[in-house]
Each structure stands twice: as C-alpha cells, then as structure tokens.
Amino acid sequence: MKEALRVLAAGDHFVLPSLIKEAVGRESARPCDVRELTLGWPLEPFGRVAEVEEASDAEDVLIEALGDREVLVTQMGPVTERVLAAATGLRLVVVCRGGPVNVNLDAAKYHDVRVCFSPGRNAAATAEFTVGLLLAALRRIPQAHDLLARQGSWEGASYYTYEHGGLELEDLPVGLIGYGAVGSRVARVLCAFGAQVMVYDPYARVEIHGLRLPSLDELLARSRVITLHARLTDETRGLIGARELALLPPGAVVVNAARGALLDEAALCDALEDGRLSAAALDTYQREPLPPGSRLLGQGLAERVVLTPHLGGASRAVAEKAAAIAAAEVGRWSRGEPLAHCLT
C-alpha cells in the first residue's frame, strides 16, 4: 500500500480547509493524511509578514501545524524563510491565489520546495463585481438605497432630474486599462450592453473585444469611464495620478477593483472634490483596511463614491475553484507529472 500523502490544508474563513481537504482527496494518487488549519482572514486583515506580502500574521501557528507535512495548500499562510527553514519535510507549496505573494520564492528554491499557484480562480467573480460597481456609480444606486431604505427619504427621486441623472452604458465610451483574465471578461459584458469599449494594454497579444488604442493618454482623453485591470508592478504602481486624471473628459467616472496602488487616491479625491470627476467606485485601496481618516470617507464625497471592502473575488465559486485548481497541482505532484502553474 502506498504511503499516505501528508498535507496541511491551511485555509481560512473563505477558502475553507474542508474544501481543500475534499479537493485534494479527489485528486491525489496516494491516500491522504490531511491536517486542517483555519487562519483568520478575512475576519482578520492580511498584511506584510516578515519578508512576504498579503499574508496572515501566523508564522508560529503555521510552523507548529506543518510538523512533518510534505505538502502545504494555503491562501494566506505566511511562507517565510523562517517557516521554510522549520518545515524540513516540506516539498510542495500550493497557493490558492493568482500569485504566490505570500511565499518567499528565493527561500523556497534554497530549501528545495516547489511553489505553485492558482490562476484564474476569481476572474469571473471580479469581472462581474467590476460591472456591478460601474452600474452602481453611473446610476447612484447605493446613494438612492441609503436615502430610502436607511433614512426613509424619497429625496433620491432628485436623481431623475436632468441635472442629476446618471449615465447609461449604451453608446458610452468606456476605457479598460489592462486586458487579462478580468479585463477581457469585462470587455465582453460591456460590449453586450452596447458600450463603446476601448482597451489599452501593451502586453495583450489576443483579439480585443473593442478598439485597441496605442497609448494610455489617448484612451484617457476619449473615455467617459475608465476601469483598471492591470497587474500591480513597479511599472504600474501609481499608473493613474493627477496628470492622467486631468486627461479625462469633465464628469468622467473611475472604477478600480484591481489593486489600490494603481491609483493615486489623493489625486482622485482632488478630482472628485473639484468636480472634474463625477464619481468613483473602488473595491481596493492604497491601504487596507481603509483608514478611518481617509478622505474617501469624508461627507463631502459621499454622493460621489461607491466603496466596498475588497469584495471583488468574494463568491463561493471562487473558493471552490481555488481549492480545485490547487488540488489538481497536488495530484500532478503525487503522480510525478509536470506541474501546470509552478514558479520554483
């Protein structure tokens, strides 16, 4: 009989350890001894832990739980140099995310640990959420709801006046910055609405749903709405700042459900406060959780902003897909097959 595969399913309150355990059991070529660990995210925010980003502050807990485990499947576990050095039996780490930002890849290579990730698990959910944010901002749905449901006021009917009426997607020039798994889905949905979709992505090598523009400046100058879908890199950090926002037509709308650091929040607030932008809808921020003193939370902007706490990928299907994609990598490793999404 084959020796049992020793796995730690270090899930959280979203990607449940039980989902990982069930998925690994289906995929593994060996019997599985799966130990479950529940980390605190999203009830406890992630952040930088030692030398890795976007992880749960749980090095000691993870080290104790790993013990003699040879496989770790996790979403927010901090796979730091310290954790890797302590887990001497560990040979495979699979992260239930689009990238292993919570893993020290250099240390993993040094300790002869393979590292895999789970691309595409939240593309559909984030695309749908982006379109939801866009519709909410264009038609002031949250503001009208708040007036009627929370305050019992019919004042939201003022949004039916010509002066305060919202924009509709049909024939609206919408610019997408980035055309990966999320951006391409958003483009298809917006085309179905009849929007005039324009795309700027110098790295996209696929057919575009919409009009591909050669420069970011041209896209900004022609767009009544922009949505951000670029990856966060040294090149894209602060991609949309005061200069870029000034290129948008008066009354434009900005939507960001990608990464907060793509957008200069101070410049965005300036443009909203002076009326150059009519609205913004954000799901991600430069600092998370959003600080209580953030200008975005000020009463002066309440009519112009739609804010959600990084919920773009928050669907049950995403958790199930993440566990399944990660488990498929464990299955390949257990059978000695090439890994599909491996970085070390």
* Helix, strand, coil content of the chain in percent (nearest 5): 35, 20, 45
Task: Please say whether the beta carbons of 80 and 50 come within 8 A.
Answer: yes
The pLDDT assigned to 117 comes to: 97
- Residue whose pair of structure tokens reads 């804010």 in the numeric block: 307
pLDDT band at 2 (very low <50, low <70, confident <90, very high): confident
Q: What is the CA radius of gyration of the chain?
A: 22
Per-residue model confidence as pLDDT tens digits over 228-244: 999 999 999 999 999 99
Alpha carbon separation from 213 to 175, 198, 326 (Å, rounded): 9, 7, 36
Torsion of CA 250, 265, 253, 201, to 10 degrees: 100
Please tell me the distance from the alpha carbon of residue 227 to that of residue 241, in angstroms, as a whole number: 14
Tokens of 111: 């300790």
Residue 130 — left, alpha, or beta (φ > 0 → left; ψ -120 to 50 → alpha)?
alpha
Per-residue model confidence as pLDDT tens digits over 195-223: 999 999 999 999 999 999 999 999 999 99
The pLDDT assigned to 91 comes to: 98
The pLDDT assigned to 1 comes to: 61
Return the active site residues.
259, 288, 310
The pLDDT assigned to 82 comes to: 98
Rounded to two decimals, what is the model's pTM?
A: 0.92
pLDDT band at 319 (very low <50, low <70, confident <90, very high): very high
Please tell me the distance from the alpha carbon of residue 236 to that of residue 228, in angstroms, as a whole number: 11
Q: 5-121+315-335 belongs to which homologous superfamily?
A: NAD(P)-binding Rossmann-like Domain (3.40.50.720)
Task: Please say whether the beta carbons of 156 and 342 come within 8 A.
Answer: no
The pLDDT assigned to 344 comes to: 82
Task: Please say whether the beta carbons of 211 and 224 come within 8 A.
Answer: no
Per-residue model confidence as pLDDT tens digits over 171-199: 999 999 999 999 999 999 999 999 999 99
Per-residue model confidence as pLDDT tens digits over 249-266: 999 999 999 999 999 999
Instruction: Average the pLDDT over 111-124 and give the result.
Output: 96
Per-residue model confidence as pLDDT tens digits over 20-35: 999 999 999 999 999 9
Per-residue model confidence as pLDDT tens digits over 41-57: 999 989 999 999 999 99
Task: Please say whether the beta carbons of 60 and 80 come within 8 A.
Answer: no
Closest CA to 108 of 97, 119, 116, 96: 116
CATH class of the region 123-307: alpha beta
Residue 342, pLDDT above cutoff 90: yes
Q: Where are the domains of the chain?
A: 5-121+315-335, 123-307
